[in-house]
Amino acid sequence: MINKISYNQLGGADHGWLQAKHHFSFANYHDPKRIHFGPMRVINDDVIAPHKGFAPHAHDNMEIITYVRKGAITHTDDMGNKGRTAAGDIQVMSAGSGVVHSEFNLENEETNLYQIWIFPNKKNVQPRWEAKQFPKDPVQDQLKPLVTGFNHPDQDSLKIYQDAIIYAGRMNKGTSISQTINHQAYALCSYGSFAIEDVELSKGDGAEITKKQEVLITAKENCEILLIDLPKF
């Protein structure tokens, strides 16, 4: 089953410096039917104005993944980490027993990113943060795993405390790939458009994929897809 969630159906908020769209209930947006998908609690599609951002604030017991689509975001935290993550790259933070961090767009252009929160399968771990650049070439056969659980054999991916996999890839118009799904998956269209089986997604759209072990993804335009494979919760 593929359940499309159109961009114009999402909740959201206009904070002036931040234009936010929420795939799930968040802050002042609440929809009892849209609380989580598996252990994934948050997907925020954020546009952050130049030289603006999130002042220092605390988190605990949450895996927080940031995928930058345009511009860049600069992270600092009370563990002494500081790093800039640019478009097409990703950062992860295991909030664990507690961490204070900030996220700022220090660029001269807007930054557009997905912020994804996933409940961990292990609580009160030592907080950690890491970021990584990933290849930007279009995929040919399958999407690339960018983030995986610690038990996953992929050595290039960033790790989180959950049996989840975040795949991503750019596709050229007219190409198709067959993507395996371990559990259930949530797809996001970063730009362009593609079809999952016969369901077409355009920039900003999402889709819940359940009861399928494999799907055919076809690029209708040059596009980028994120596919988040998640266990039941």
pLDDT digits (tens, 9 = 90+) for 27-63: 999 999 999 999 999 999 999 999 999 999 999 999 9
pLDDT tens per residue across span 152-207: 999 899 999 999 999 999 999 999 999 999 999 999 999 999 999 999 999 999 99
- Strand-strand pairing, 184-191 and 158-160: unpaired
Nearest to 129 by CA among 51, 75, 173: 75
CA distance 46 to 57: 17
Joined together, the tokens standing for residue 132 give 């990584």
pTM over 0.95: yes
Largest CA-CA distance found in the chain, in angstroms, rounded? 47
Q: Indicate the DSSP class of residue 32.
A: T
Joined together, the tokens standing for residue 157 give 């991916």
Confidence of residue 124 (pLDDT cuts 50, 70, 90): very high
Residue 233 has pLDDT above 90, yes or no: no
Query: What are the CA-CA distances from residue 118 to residues 63, 96, 163, 219 (Å)?
Result: 5, 12, 10, 28
Q: Report the CATH superfamily, name and number, of domain 2-230.
A: Jelly Rolls (2.60.120.10)
3-state secondary structure of 220: coil
- Strand-strand pairing, 223-230 and 214-219: unpaired
**Which residues contact residue 18 at a Cβ distance below 8 angstroms, ignoring those fewer than 6 apart?**
46, 47, 48, 49, 52
